[in-house]
Amino acid sequence: MAIEVRDVNKSFGTTPVLRDVSVDVASGSLTALLGPSGGGKSTLLRVIAGLEHPDTGTVRISGVDATRLAPQRRNVGFVFQHYAAFKHMTVFRNVAFGLEIRKRPKDEIRRRVMELLELVHLEQMAGRYPSQLSGGQRQRMALARALAVEPQVLLLDEPFGALDAQVRKELRTWLRRLHDEVHVTTVFVTHDQEEAIEVADTVVVLADGAVEQVGSPSDVYDNPANPFVMRFLGPVTEIGGSLVRPHDIEISAEPRPGSGEATVTRIVRLGFEVRVELLVGDREAWAQVTRGTAERLGLAPGDIVNVRPSPGARSLALTGA
């Protein structure tokens, strides 16, 4: 294991932020810490980096107890949400910083920095200052800077949080490819489930300072441990006292085993998909069907149809709902 977090508790003042958190991160993996804001994921990342000290519990990095180790001795790469670019240094000097601190020879620093700038496609920008870069470029510079010291683990705090949607998507794919190239154990924090599922090979869902579920992206999406995880990872609707993904709802004209009656209240066409809003008894629900299905059934508001979760689809019974 590259990182082992055991029974970590942490409070700010009287507010608990992490509660008995234990997480293992496998060597060479790309792990997402996913959860709503205020869920403790950034704090956990900062505890791993040594920027925050846990009240109780331990952190081991590459088998070594790092709990009381200062951040500068942990050899982790940390990429901050707002980049934390050294504003008074050029891109080159930013990336070289960690190597200069380690007193590496000048020509080695030069070679390594240029290598990394090439890796993040910033070789043309070496002489610029951070203020002359776009947000995405700054983010890549911060990444190169963190990678320069050959960290045992790379930690990224909401790495794409401050970027606009288009750049975000590009950088995601790029990060995934970069990870395949350099293979450094990577942990990143995100509140965007799509980002976590697309980029990570392991997802840790955190809420209210506690780990809700750990698993592969398909695992947490398809087999959520509880209603919270199910809701957080994708759209859900409630039907017959169970939580179901809207695309797992079957609509038919005739009753089928396990189906119940519902009234169509509204139909919204979103390109290829069609959102069918329903009234099941006195409860609102919705289903996501393809255009073809909607046309085949000839759905219109006011129609009475039969609905049921598709056989084999994951649903969670809500108790007392």
Please say which residue, 132 or 252, places its beta carbon nearer to another protein. Answer: 132
* Least distance from another protein to the Cβ atom of residue 200, Å: 21
* Least distance from another protein to the Cβ atom of residue 87, Å: 7
Chain residues in the site for another protein (CB under 8 A): 12, 42, 46, 49-53, 70-78, 80, 82, 84-88, 97-98, 101-102, 142, 145-146, 148-149
Please say which residue, 133 or 276, places its beta carbon nearer to another protein. Answer: 133
* Least distance from another protein to the Cβ atom of residue 72, Å: 5
Residues 316 and 225 sit within 8 Å (Cβ to Cβ): no
Three-state SS for 234?
Answer: coil
* Token reading at 8: 């970590």
Please say which residue, 83 or 232, places its beta carbon nearer to another protein. Answer: 83
Please say which residue, 88 or 300, places its beta carbon nearer to another protein. Answer: 88
Q: Compute, in degrees rounded to 10, the torsion defined by CA atoms 120, 121, 125, 127.
A: 50
* Least distance from another protein to the Cβ atom of residue 75, Å: 7
Please say which residue, 78 or 232, places its beta carbon nearer to another protein. Answer: 78
Q: How far apart are CA 190 and CA 156, in angstroms?
A: 9
Please say which residue, 85 or 122, places its beta carbon nearer to another protein. Answer: 85
Q: How far apart are CA 211 and CA 35, in angstroms?
A: 9
Please choose, from the candidates 266, 222, 276, 223, the residue with its C-alpha nearest in 3D space to the C-alpha of residue 246: 276
Q: Compute, in degrees rounded to 10, the torsion defined by CA atoms 221, 225, 231, 234.
A: 0
Q: How far apart are CA 169 and CA 305, in angstroms?
A: 39
Please say which residue, 98 or 224, places its beta carbon nearer to another protein. Answer: 98
Within 13 Å, how many C-alpha atoms sit on residue 139's CB side? 21
Name 222's Cβ contacts closer than 8 Å, sequence gap at least 6. 314
* Least distance from another protein to the Cβ atom of residue 20, Å: 21
How many residues are listed for the chain in this entry?
321
* Least distance from another protein to the Cβ atom of residue 292, Å: 47
Name 241's Cβ contacts closer than 8 Å, sequence gap at least 6. 317, 318, 321
* Least distance from another protein to the Cβ atom of residue 76, Å: 6
* Token reading at 101: 């601190």
